[in-house]
Structure 1
């Protein structure tokens, strides 16, 4: 599909109907209401629904309520445009990617949220959440017999699981993508879904609220400008489709902000 045609098929988030609880309610509607739902996961891939529920207690522990849900939301959409992706790798990677923050002490997470000192501690905290997240992800996958279920489907369960864990282990810090890997598209799309959170109204308002702790609190417009510059950097996103989705969602978020004010 031509990237310019994405706008014909892609509908941005409707914030007037979005539930901000961060409990997955926006991807838990009746199947007839939307093709992007955990119910669809349950019917077409039961493991994903089980995994979502198993990981939910560990989600959004970085003062970023809704991050896990929105990332999964974008992941499901990207799958529609990237049939070459391996859903059984990509979606578990997305669902589990940030659960490591739950393993850090509240004092550590507070350091990341504090704009005045974030730059000092951010590299260490990002590394720690990746390491701890990989460990927790492995425990959850094993508790649900992920590898065994993948083997039963006729694939290499251990290989799939190892790839999920490798993606999680450096999803914030790895330079570039697994472009030479046979599963590289899953790494790229997982990280794109993660980044797309930043162009949503909820994601940008999270940063605006955090900035109030600093000497220079930001407006949503200022956060949008900063985000736009980041997304325009060569190699920032894996997929051109993700870039077009980002453009659409950013415009959508700014429009909603104007109406909400």
Structure 2
């Protein structure tokens, strides 16, 4: 028995035998071997404005949405979300934030990252031997994931939703704060304005509302007073 003091003075207990297996708990998962191959090739293209961490969080959100949205293909959705922002590596770093800034930004640069992202995605997927028919569907999603206002398919809808919902996660709020010099409350309002009314799936809307509830409490004076 481990007896080091836990918070509040309660003795700790050895709970190892009580922890359930990962496959018995919702939302506990990791990248498959095939996805790890794609990620290893995508990561060098994602070292721009936190796109590497963003893509992993968005992958997790998409992975959780898969069983909740009818008609989606994980072999399309999950590679697409890992690859969707690789094209920002082809935009000058000093222009990336101006491209996505509120109030208009640079649509031309947003479009550039989609076109280049589709090209990079095709190269990576061909390199790992992804089926050609799936490559066509994945690159079509990447090429337009931000600028296209409608969803091409259920797969595209999940990718679009996962990409946007990330903004409301704790990591997303903190990242947006850093990008634009905002307070947490300002970042939450900005992200919420750009997320809730632009989602395509009902499960995505529910998930976004849950993250928004957490963000609201994170900034509540009562929570802040607790330290």
* TM-score, structure 2 normalization: 0.79
Matched, 1:206 2:168: no
Matched, 1:102 2:89: yes
Matched, 1:159 2:146: no
Mean CA deviation greater in 223-232 or 92-101? 223-232
Shift of 1:82: 2.4
Please, which of 28, 40, 45 is the counterpart of residue 35 of structure 1? 28
Gaps of 5+ in 2: 1-20
Please, which of 162, 187, 197 is the counterpart of residue 223 of structure 1? 187
For the structure 1 residues 74 and 211, does the alpha-carbon distance in structure 2 shift closer, same or farther, using more than 3 Å as the test?
same
Matched, 1:174 2:138: no
Q: 2:128, 2:52 → 1: CA distance?
A: 25
- After superposition, the CA RMSD in angstroms is 2.4
Match of 1:23 in 2: none
SS at 2:48's partner residue? coil
Please, which of 163, 183, 186 is the counterpart of residue 155 of structure 2? 186
Match of 1:132 in 2: 116
Shift of 1:243: 0.4
For the structure 1 residues 122 and 75, does the alpha-carbon distance in structure 2 shift closer, same or farther, using more than 3 Å as the test?
same
Match of 1:54 in 2: 41
Bigger radius of gyration among the two: 2
Shift of 1:169: 0.5
SS at 2:49's partner residue? coil
For the structure 1 residues 145 and 65, does the alpha-carbon distance in structure 2 shift closer, same or farther, using more than 3 Å as the test?
closer
Q: 1:98, 1:222 → 2: CA distance?
A: 25
For the structure 1 residues 60 and 193, does the alpha-carbon distance in structure 2 shift closer, same or farther, using more than 3 Å as the test?
farther
* TM-score, structure 1 normalization: 0.69
Between the two proteins, the alignment pairs up a number of residues equal to 201
Gaps of 5+ in 1: 1-29, 148-157, 179-183, 213-217
For the structure 1 residues 140 and 195, does the alpha-carbon distance in structure 2 shift closer, same or farther, using more than 3 Å as the test?
same
Structure with bigger RCO (C-alpha 8 Å, 6+ apart)? 1
